[in-house]
Structure 1
């Protein structure tokens, strides 16, 4: 009796990412049919047989699709025949099997699809000017040198009589010393 490996999937308008998670797979056989039939078989573990047949939502371009059999998984980039969103991986109205899961690491919503980080349109934004934005200046905006006095901060109206406020010309060190001695 064969088992089913875990399958993760994500899509873009023009392709589907399919990952068969099966560490140490041996004798892997992957077949992709233009009609959208994806089959997989391999052995793993103690020579357990893993098989999979997925009836994909629509047709795929077999010649443009890529399959990489790795040590931990089998990663497939399946090119769709028609550039359109499927919304689900498999044909029909039935719920996807328990071993088919969304790959949230690769998932992009239809509204957010930009084709990948290299195609990201930032509208000509120049990131080198971010340091010049008000309140977000460079290293000289906040000077931590000790030779400046402490700025007095107003406290709420209901001050206690023993609350101490750092006065003008008083440094943090002298303030701490005076607080410790009192």
Structure 2
């Protein structure tokens, strides 16, 4: 399996950032906020290029308070 970058959607309000990662059947999720304001995401799942390993890093320009960080996970599906 090759490592790919999933589709990531970003939304932001004052003081809040929302990310949505387009990946279904995600397994072995590893999401962490590093001390240097970098969010790391790794998982196996089904994305735009099929079943693969997916990962990305996102560097924030402003400091992120780790105590306010949360990663609620949810899955959704839609029928065409």
Decide: shared fold, TM above 0.5. yes
Match among 60, 76, 85 for residue 64 of structure 2: 60
8 Å Cα contact 1:33-1:60 kept in structure 2: no
Q: 2:13 matched to which residue of 1?
A: 12
Which stretches in structure 1 are left out of the alignment for 5+ residues?
Answer: 73-182
Alignment correspondent of 2:30? 29
Q: CA deviation at 1:5?
A: 0.7
**Whole-Å Cα distance in 2 between the matches of residues 37 and 2 of structure 1?**
19
Alpha-carbon offset, residue 33 of structure 1? 2.0
Match in the other structure for 2:43: 42
RMSD, matched Cα = 1.6
- For 2:58 and 2:22, the matched residues in 1 are separated by 15
Unaligned runs of 5+ in 2: none
Note the alpha carbon deviations across 1:162-181, whole angstroms, 9 max, x for none. Answer: xxxxxxxxxxxxxxxxxxxx
* Correspondence list, 1:164-175, <5 A: none
Higher relative contact order structure (alpha carbons within 8 Å, sequence separation ≥ 6):
2
Verify: 1:71 aligned to 2:75, yes or no: yes
Q: Greater strand percent: which structure?
A: 2
Q: State the Cα distance separating 1:9 from its structure 2 match.
A: 0.8
Provide runs of 4+ in structure 1 moved above 6 Å.
none
Q: Greater CA radius of gyration, 1 or 2? A: 1
Report the Cα distance in structure 2 between the residues aligned to 1:21 and 1:14, rounded to whole angstroms. 23
Q: How many residues of Structure 1 are paired with residues of Structure 2 in the alignment? A: 72
**Structure 1 contact 34–61 (Cα < 8 Å) conserved:** no
